[in-house]
Copies of this chain bind each other. A is one copy, B any other.
Amino acid sequence: MIELNEKSIVKIDGDVSSPKGFEAKGIHIGLRYSKKDLGLIISEVPAASAAVYTQSHFQAAPLQVTQKSLKKTGKLKGVIVNSAIANACTGEQGLKDAYDMQAACADMLGTEPDYIAVSSTGVIGECLDMDKIKTGIAQLKEAKAGNGHFEEAILTTDTVIKNTTYSLTIDGKEILISGAAKGSGMIHPNMATMLGFVTTDANVEQEALQNALRDITDVTFNQITVDGETSTNDMVLVMANGMAENQALNEEHPEWPLFKEGLKLACEDLAKEIARDGEGATKLIEAKVVGAKNNLEAGIIAKKIVGSSLVKTAVYGTDANWGRIVGAIGHSAASVTPEEVEVYLGGQCLFKHNEPQSFSEEEAKAYLEQDEITIFIQMNEGNGEAAAWGCDLTYDYVKINASYRT
């Protein structure tokens, strides 16, 4: 990996329509009561595209359709997304509807169905209102682009829109990488789903893009947890349309690590925004693990910590409860030598040599009152490093999930 110059990747304002040749729209078609519920991303030219899909055995219909088409073409001209209805667990009818949604969007854009990705998020087990979907797709043709309308249209129980944009230079050309996401836990009635859409005007070979996305997803989107649930509709999609006119990027390109780092930063931002917006959450919790046997084990430990209900409630209660952190590490599948483990919070060491360390409770409490908490773990086993992100567990999580129907 080359050394990255601080200034070589710059975060800027923007959205998924910022990279050259991309347009993004969002409108209200009546699937939700009043909020926008149908979104579209268009690329002026076919964009080399890559995606990763939910690990759930119950993969929703739109994912099956998108996966099939993307395998065929490796390129996309558009992505059509609806919220409110997940079109999951809807049997044959659901599959037919997803294909019809893809076809209607292809017609509207004057392209082949296999160049369109389909995505849905919302209630499981209900079928789409295809009249509304088709009328909506027609309306999208004339709809005004930009202004974060797409980001709004993909939300369900989210409280804020989520996007990020980075600028970098490759082959002397400015390249933008932008992302939009939704998700705040696999949640609300049966509302599900973490969705990520990344656009870039970089010129990238499809296979390299797919490999990069898979690697990056493992250390970003797959390292967040709100309630340990996995949705039937999770998908992260990257479109690279090449309009920045750099030399085609692949693992051999000298600046490949720079592009990959930019893509990772965008995905990490989106992942953290999702965790921060977890249901009922008041804080973002980061677990940073170093010195693990390897990166994989570091990731397992980090995710165990942010996934622990006891750690989550302790952070909510601004309680420097190192015993719960040790407990979470202790029952992880990773290699753990109790005498070697060190637990740090806000610069103070809470636990070391398998014994509690004396620390200032006041200082720790003050640190925990911030809205971003980092729990730092030194395993002293090897050189493995990883981070994971979650949120605190609050009364509102129970309220939202226990009483939505009343």
Contacts and interface: CB of A to CB of B under 8 A. Distances in A.
A192 B58 contact: no
B228 A187 contact: no
A230 B330 contact: yes
A190 B317 CA distance: 14
A173 interface: no
A368 B275 CA distance: 31
A189, A228, A327, A395: which has the most chain B beta carbons within 10 Å? A327
Contact of A326 (B55, B89, B228, B321): B89
Contacts of A123: 323
Interface residues of A, number: 61
A112 interface: no
A245 interface: no
Nearest to A322: B125
A328 interface: yes
Contact of A310 (B186, B337, B338): B186
A89 B124 CA distance: 45
B327 A124 contact: yes
Interface SS of A by simple majority: loop
Nearest to A234: B331
B353 A310 contact: no
A393 interface: yes
A406 interface: yes
B327 A402 contact: no
Interface in A278-335: 307-310, 313-314, 316-317, 319, 321-324, 326-332
Contacts of A393: 398, 402
A125 B327 CA distance: 11
A394 interface: yes
Contacts of A317: 401-406
A186 B398 contact: no
A159 interface: no
A329 B190 CA distance: 14
Contacts of A330: 56-58, 230, 232
Contact of A356 (B56, B125, B309): B125
Contact of A308 (B125, B228, B327, B397): B228
A207 interface: no
A57 B331 CA distance: 6
A277 interface: no
14 contacts: A58-B330, A89-B351, A91-B353, A186-B327, A190-B327, A229-B310, A229-B324, A229-B327, A229-B328, A232-B330, A309-B401, A317-B405, A319-B402, A397-B398
Given A230-B330, A232-B330, A314-B401, 18 more contacts: A56-B331, A57-B330, A57-B336, A89-B355, A192-B323, A228-B228, A228-B307, A229-B310, A230-B327, A309-B397, A310-B401, A313-B401, A313-B402, A316-B398, A317-B404, A394-B398, A395-B395, A398-B398
